[in-house]
Amino acid sequence: MPRVLLIRPNCDVAETEFAEPLGLERLAGYLRAHGIEHVDIADRRLCAAEQQRGIEAPPFWHVVRSAYTHGSPTHVGLSLMTSSDLPDALRIVSRLRAYYPHALFCAGGVFVTTSPSEARQCLPSCVHLIPNEGEAQLLAWIRGHGDTDSVACPNDWSPAYRPNLVRYATLGCAVNLQSSRGCPGSCAFCATPNLPESYRTWQPRDLRLVVDEIACESARLRQAGLPPIFNFVDDDFGPLARVEELGRELRRQDVRVAFALEMRMASLIGQHRLAERLRALRRLGLTRVFVGVESLNAQTLRKWRKAYDTTRLPDVIQAFRHTGIALQAGYILWHKGQTVEGATNEVKRLWELGIYSHRAAMSRLIAFRGCDLSPSDAELGEAERLYNAFATHANDLTQRWTDAAIKEPYAAAVYHLTGDGAGLDELQTTLSEANEESYELFLELAHSQGLT
């Protein structure tokens, strides 16, 4: 009988926001639903996060060895998000091969999917590579059936296996959920459009199944005395009507939670009675929507294949303003096509719109492997001097803003559910003051250095 160990390694660079490893949890749930009864998840980062919080927890290697005091894992899988996960992954493979010489190893995740050649070059030849969302591939490998092109459709997904649910929630993590695959967008800075068609095409999961999973995990959290807070990690949750369908299903099953999700601007612009519909969704638990604004420059948006009618953006912002739902705008200010004048004008316009944030002012284009942009698109040219000056002068401000920005969404969700606003006002005040300080610093540097 197979005994499977799935591991998330440590990352060699600082992790700004700690979250549960949903990919591994979904894989574990799929394996268990298909007859692989012995599946363990070991998260290096969970142990580290608990130690940082002063929570007494057994060391990672003690957890692993204790799970296999009788026997050993037959299959070990590692999830690699970026190349920064490689050093620890190599240490894990080396050590586990010494402990369990007969175990078979595989690796998957975003890094393996978008950089297969580099992954093959860096990982030992004994590590089998599984790209894309590898439910069916992982199961076939464990069963010794070789590679397969089979793709599990969203309605065939199994609920994620979350043995450490309470530990993550105790650390202030929302429960991550995936309700769809793919994205209808084709953004040039994203790797999704270049995945195989079966993975990039937007496919929704039946929301009755989604709410079934929410209800189950919500009951576990409430039993542990923790608030049921959820976050959808879909590239695009879907149209506004689908969010409303989710709200109706939550109400039908009498499940009261707080949740956040990501939408495309195209799903919000021009929507009839948007503010009224958002207020209704707020009552059903929606607390935050992340939207990729990305740029206010029409030429830049066209280059990135992200074009939308920017003149309608103020209408969307206004609709959110008095609903109680936070509109979190993603923005990429710094990139090859940016100029000092352009950056300054965009910052001023973001401030006028009320969506300026220090994160937006610091956000620099990253040409991820697998996307259509080249590394040179991330170069700044003439704007480099202003970016470097701003980043240097805002170093302490960046840390202060980031600390508050990570904690605020969870605190706001707790307030929505319980009315307990302990610490929320302070966090929001910190963010507001930091944003104002950031904006003034940006304009001061642009002016004092003669860059405008």
User: pLDDT 10s per residue in the chain (452 long)?
Assistant: 999 999 999 999 877 789 999 999 999 999 999 999 999 999 999 988 998 899 988 889 988 998 898 889 999 999 999 999 999 999 999 999 999 999 999 999 999 999 999 999 999 999 999 998 889 999 999 999 877 778 889 999 999 999 999 999 999 999 999 999 999 999 999 999 999 998 999 999 999 999 999 999 999 999 999 999 999 999 999 999 999 999 999 999 999 999 999 999 999 999 999 999 999 999 999 999 999 999 999 999 999 999 899 999 999 999 999 899 999 999 999 999 999 999 999 999 999 999 999 999 999 999 888 899 999 999 998 899 999 999 999 999 999 999 999 999 999 999 999 999 889 999 999 999 999 999 999 999 998 876 55
C-alpha dihedral, 254 to 255 to 260 to 264, nearest 10°: -40
Angle between helix axes 86-99 and 60-67 (nearest 10 degrees) is 40
Hey, what are 80's tokens?
A: 């690699």
Hey, what are 333's tokens?
A: 């200010």
Per the CB < 8 A criterion, the answer to whether 2 and 142 are in contact is yes
Per the CB < 8 A criterion, the answer to whether 60 and 42 are in contact is yes
pTM for the full predicted model: 0.95
Hey, what are 50's tokens?
A: 């608990």
Q: Is 93 exposed, middle or buried (0-12, 13-18, 19+ CB in 10 A)?
A: buried
Ramachandran category for residue 409: left, alpha or beta (phi over 0 → left; psi -120 to 50 → alpha): alpha
Report the half-sphere exposure of 121 (CA within 13 A, side-chain side). 6
